[in-house]
């Protein structure tokens, strides 16, 4: 069967070689500008809920409402090292609600009751206002609506709460539906290190 | 902090007092309003009690600041495993379809791939959607295109240069889900097939235009209108899920409608597949001219008893119906 290569064979080889070369060139060009691997991330400085000067406007709950998952992959995260551990936390209580008999606002801010509050450290039962309190966000209840993020920032809070993408939940969609609607391009794809 | 609501309440109270006409009470109310807001019975006056976060020592009693939980993104190793699985599946399909001519084996690979790339990896990132990433990488130098996306986009194309559209036949989860529902495929008239075949090129061009648009209007329409990814995730926009369900129902009678008429990556793959080194061939040296294979091909890819390289999806169905192949193929 060792026949001379026909004209058709030679043309075929040439075409395949050209196709591979072309693709190789493209790959080379792309690799030069490529990154190792990326992941969706929320840039806190750009997030309208975290940013200063946005008080009094409605919360941006796009992270909670537009994710393709039934319960969004975005969660509010309380950075405990930055948390003031206040007696009355503006992210936990709805500070606009009427005060109850204990002298605390009667309503909570979180619509899903996802924040837990308890006393920590050395507790003086007679002076609750000067005790410290831990605020823990329940990952199962939180849907990343950002109301607490909005409340916990200067001058009311210390900006310890931020929104974060939970990568164990995130489907890593090529076309992230949150990124499509994020009002200030805070939802970005960044190379992972 | 937020005296607005309190003031509104006071104003309502004031209006009520004025309406009642009691002059003395009005003065009292006015005085109350001036001496507001701290004595307001209902309004909570918020002031931040601390200026800085207390340290663990401030809290006392051996308190330790809890670690904020953090979930790292998918590791590079696992991304590389995806690329490895893709390469392996492509090679296995090529071997089964071209070397073994084994329909059942190909079907098993198809099921394995729809399980892995579809249900486990939830359909992202796939070569079809990567068309947009690669285009964006070419036109926007600031866009960080991941190496994995580059590999996943080019691997099926490189395989197509050598072995034809083996990606469509055995690996693509979108193709696999349609392959599994193609139960009673009809033959689409040649002329319709030709005209409908242009739709995928129009779709490809539209998708590229939407990527090249400035960032504000940019959209990944291939991913947005991906009809089957919602089935892999068991969730998705209702309209897209309905389109997907419609395509699957149609796919029972018309084999793989998305692949043949809409898939933009299928359009791209048909180019290198035309010059493929090896491709599906209809028993060239033991021809019966019975035409059973042409009737068996659900995708209209056999013309004049020859498999067309550009449209053949490498599913190996034709071998199953070939009287000459029976008993010869082994796994």
Most B CBs within 10 A among A135, A173, A176, A191, hence the mutation to make, goes to A173
ipTM surpassing 0.85: no
- Chain A contact set for B150 (CB, 8 A): 27, 30-31, 34
Confidence category of residue B287, pLDDT binned at 50, 70, 90: low
Q: Do B275 and A16 touch (CB under 8 A)?
A: yes
- Smallest CA–CA distance from A107 into chain B, residue: B44
Q: Do B68 and A36 touch (CB under 8 A)?
A: no
The answer to whether position A17 is within a domain reads: yes
CA–CA min distance A110, chain B (Å)? 17
Q: How wide is the angle at C-alpha A129 spanned by C-alphas A128 and A131, nearest 5°? A: 65
pLDDT of residue B161: 95
For chains A and B, CB pairs below 8 A equal: 185
The answer to whether position A12 is within a domain reads: yes
Q: Do A37 and B275 touch (CB under 8 A)?
A: no
A9: containing domain: 1-34
pTM of the full predicted structure?
0.80
Q: Which residues contact B177 (CB under 8 A, 6 or more apart)?
A: B114, B118, B228, B231, B248
The total number of structural domains in chain A stands at: 1
Q: Please report, in angstroms and rounded to a whole number, the separation of the first and last CA atoms in chain B.
A: 76
pLDDT of residue B81: 93
Most A CBs within 10 A among B77, B145, B146, hence the mutation to make, goes to B146
The answer to whether position A147 is within a domain reads: no
Q: Do A85 and B63 touch (CB under 8 A)?
A: no
Cα gap B80→B86, rounded to integer Å: 10
CB atoms within 10 A of CB B60: 13
The answer to whether position A26 is within a domain reads: yes
In tens, the pLDDT along B27-76 reads 444 444 444 444 344 455 666 667 788 888 888 878 888 888 788 888 88
The answer to whether position A152 is within a domain reads: no
The answer to whether position A24 is within a domain reads: yes
In tens, the pLDDT along B174-185 reads 999 999 999 999
- Give the mean pLDDT of B250-260: 95
In tens, the pLDDT along B105-123 reads 999 999 999 999 999 998 8
Instruction: Say if B218 is an interface residue toward chain A (CB within 8 Å).
Output: no
Distances (CA, A) of B109 to B90, B129, B162, B210: 9, 22, 19, 34
Q: What is the DSSP string of B241-280?
A: HHHHHHHHHHHHHSS-HIIIII-HHHHHHHHHHHT-SS--
- Give the mean pLDDT of B174-200: 93
Residue B125 DSSP class: S
The answer to whether position A193 is within a domain reads: no
CA–CA min distance B187, chain A (Å)? 31
Please, are residues A157 and A151 in contact by the beta-carbon 8 Å criterion?
yes
Residue showing tokens 């164990």: A168
Tokens of residue B311, six digits: 């449209």
């Amino acid at each position: 069967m060792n026949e001379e290569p026909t004209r058709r064979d030679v043309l075929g080889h040439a075409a395949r070689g050209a196709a591979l070369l072309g693709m190789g060139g493209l790959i080379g060009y792309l690799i030069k500008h490529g990154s190792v691997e990326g992941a969706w991330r929320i840039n806190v400085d750009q997030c309208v809920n975290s940013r200063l000067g946005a008080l009094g406007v409605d919360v941006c709950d796009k992270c909670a409402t537009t994710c393709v998952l039934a319960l969004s992959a975005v969660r509010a995260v309380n950075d405990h090292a930055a948390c003031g551990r206040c007696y009355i936390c503006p992210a936990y209580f709805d500070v606009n609600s009427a005060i109850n008999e204990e002298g605390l606002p009667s309503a909570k801010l979180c619509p899903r009751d996802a924040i837990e509050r308890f006393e920590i450290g050395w507790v003086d039962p007679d002076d609750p206002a000067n005790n410290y309190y831990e605020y823990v966000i329940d990952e199962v209840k939180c849907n990343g609506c950002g109301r607490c993020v909005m409340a916990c920032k200067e001058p009311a809070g210390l900006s310890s709460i931020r929104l974060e993408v939970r990568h164990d939940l995130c489907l890593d969609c090529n076309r992230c539906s949150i990124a499509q609607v994020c009002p200030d391009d805070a939802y970005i794809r960044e190379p992972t290190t | 902090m937020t005296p607005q609501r309190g003031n509104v309440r006071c104003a309502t109270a004031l209006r009520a007092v004025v309406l009642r006409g009691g002059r003395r009470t009005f003065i009292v109310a006015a005085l109350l309003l001036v001496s507001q807001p701290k004595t307001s019975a209902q309004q909570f006056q918020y002031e931040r009690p601390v200026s800085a976060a207390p340290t663990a020592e401030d809290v006392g009693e051996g308190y330790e600041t809890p670690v904020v939980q953090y979930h790292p993104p998918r590791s590079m190793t696992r991304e590389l495993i995806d690329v490895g699985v893709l390469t392996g599946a492509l090679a296995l399909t090529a071997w089964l379809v071209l070397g073994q001519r084994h329909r059942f084996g190909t079907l098993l690979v198809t099921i394995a791939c729809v399980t892995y790339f579809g249900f486990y990896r939830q359909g992202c990132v796939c070569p079809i959607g990567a068309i947009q990433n690669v285009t964006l990488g070419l036109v926007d130098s600031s866009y960080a295109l991941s190496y994995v996306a580059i590999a996943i986009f080019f691997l099926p194309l490189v395989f197509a240069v050598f072995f034809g559209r083996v990606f469509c036949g055995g690996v693509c989860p979108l193709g696999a889900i349609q392959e599994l529902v193609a139960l009673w495929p009809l033959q689409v008239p040649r002329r319709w097939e030709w005209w409908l075949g242009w739709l995928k090129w129009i779709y490809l061009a539209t998708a590229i235009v939407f990527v090249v648009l400035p960032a504000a209007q940019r959209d990944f329409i291939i991913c947005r209108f991906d009809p089957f990814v919602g089935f892999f995730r068991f969730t998705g926009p209702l309209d897209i899920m309905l389109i997907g369900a419609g395509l699957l129902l149609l796919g029972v009678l018309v084999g793989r409608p998305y692949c043949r008429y809409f898939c933009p990556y299928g359009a791209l793959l048909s180019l290198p597949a035309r010059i493929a080194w090896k491709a599906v061939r209809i028993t060239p040296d033991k021809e019966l001219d019975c035409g059973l294979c042409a009737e068996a091909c659900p995708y209209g890819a056999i013309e004049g008893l020859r498999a067309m390289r550009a449209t053949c999806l490498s599913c190996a169905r034709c071998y199953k119906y070939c009287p000459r192949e029976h008993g010869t193929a082994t796994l």
